[in-house]
Amino acid sequence: MRKQLMKGNEAIVRSAILSGCRAFYGYPITPASEITETAALYMPRAGGVFLQAESEVAAINMLYGAASAGVRAMTSSSGPGISLMQEGISYMAGAELPCVIADITRGGPGLGNIAAEQGDYHQVVKGGGHGNYRTIVLAPHSVQEMADLTALAFELADRYRNPVVLLADGFIGQMMEPVEFPQTAIAPRQPEYAVTGTEETRGNLVTSLHLDIDDLEAHQGHLEAKYRRAEKCEVRAEEWRTDDAEIVLTGYGIMGRILKAVAAEARAGGLKVGVLRPITLYPFPKLHFKRLAERARVFVVVEMSNGQMLEDVRLALNGVRPVEFLSRVGGNVPSHEEVLGFVREQARRTLPAREPEEERMANV
């Protein structure tokens, strides 16, 4: 199939339909509104259901119903709307119902503004609802990955019977790039656990309610085993020029693209800089960091938040290497020049002094 030029938000919906999604329930919010608009256009054409719910609370509970009936379903929102969905996400995780949720993040807290930010990391990656549950979280850095990771999200949601979140900043949702989709579509299919009103599914029970304390403990142990399996099997990250890197830059989403450009210029100046971009924010690529720490002298985390992924990087490294942090918030994006200057400063502070001849050649 030839490449098509489109926004990241539009690529999500087209990929979802090709992945067998046949239900979308949502409420528009900037910078995610094009997802709802595109779903309204294409979902009925594919024989699916589109409904603009009266609120984000209603949308996530409609998702619960559709997933209970075995339908691949999704919704989308941004920070304020995702906040309202947290109870329903907890219910779906407890009931082991698969779904895909696209979070196109904006500035916060509260209503904040409509500019791109990365402040939803904690509520999505750590689980903003109540109880002991996790959501699998994927972080695309291009429009092509918006499509590719949406397809993966539906696959993982079914594999682990769990909500999966596509966490993308407003830049990735709004930018336009060429996208290539697979030649073949996935046909909708009914899973064994579904409740469809037939004699065959009469015995199926979908619930997150376990009133007996031992039953609930056993259920949580079952969920925990799934999460441990995901942590072993589903970790994804991109490494860029890390084989000899003494300084490793790390960021996700739009920051991953900026960091590659910074690393390329830093290397042109003689610094051995690489990039580690987490693609799964949960499960987090801890082993990637530990392996790179065997050579790297310092890690630099760059986020469009007040340092939320930073905590996971520090936990992964466990004090083995220093972790420096550069942050912009409110919709501001760390510029190429700003990050490059920060990296050069860390090199001066951390790396051994060069011999005069090395310094002269690096400046050539």
Pick from 280, 350, 287, 359: which is nearest to 318 by CA?
287
pLDDT of residue 364: 45
Report the CATH number of the 237-362 domain: 3.40.50.920
Specify whether domain 4-233 bears CATH 1.10.760.10.
no
Instruction: Let me know if the fold of 4-233 is the same as that of 237-362.
Output: yes
Instruction: Output the CA torsion 290→270→142→310 (10° steps).
Output: 40
pLDDT of residue 156: 98
List the chain residues with pLDDT less than 50: 356-357, 359-361, 364
**Where do we find the tokens 């910074």?**
262
pTM equals: 0.94
Q: What is the DSSP letter of 352?
A: P
pLDDT of residue 354: 56
Q: Taking every pair of C-alpha atoms in the chain, what is the biggest distance, in angstroms?
A: 82
SS3 152: helix
pLDDT of residue 352: 76
pLDDT of residue 362: 52
Strand 136-138 and strand 280-282: the pairing is: antiparallel
Tens digit of each residue's pLDDT (9 = 90 or more) over 287-330: 999 999 999 999 999 999 999 999 999 999 999 999 999 999 99
Domain boundaries, the chain: 4-233, 237-362
SS3 248: strand
Tens digit of each residue's pLDDT (9 = 90 or more) over 9-44: 999 999 999 999 999 999 999 999 999 999 999 999
Q: Which is it for the CA torsion 289, 294, 296, 298, positive or negative? A: positive
pLDDT of residue 357: 46
